Amino acid sequence: QIRAFFRKIALHAEGVNVDWPFEVMGVLAEVLRCQDIEMLSLDLHGLLEKCPDVSEEQLVRLLALRGDVPRAHVRDTVAHVRASRQPSR
């Protein structure tokens, strides 16, 4: 219903992708639902594909919402994912 509402109000706006926020919410949900904390890096890569401007701190706080990942693992995972996304020079 929410998606239909946004599509309706965006009828006259050109170049607006009203589905994008809902796609991002799906990716965020995947990060929060992930059962295997060792697989979190794959979900974070997916999130960074959709939202390349997400900061390291935002990723850390997202993983902190889970409550089941040790802080050191969160920081290490986020640092690893961000480092692997850096372009080679």
Q: How far apart are CA 58 and CA 27, in angstroms?
A: 14
Could you count the other beta carbons within 10 Å of the beta carbon of residue 14? 5
Q: How far apart are CA 75 and CA 77, in angstroms?
A: 6
**Tens of pLDDT along 5-55?**
877 777 777 777 767 788 899 999 999 999 998 889 999 999 999 999 999
The range of the structural domain enclosing residue 65 comes to 2-85
Q: How far apart are CA 51 and CA 35, in angstroms?
A: 22
Q: How many domains does the chain have?
A: 1
Q: How far is CA 57 from the centre of its chain?
A: 12
pLDDT of residue 1: 76
Is the Cβ–Cβ distance between 32 and 65 less than 8 Å? yes
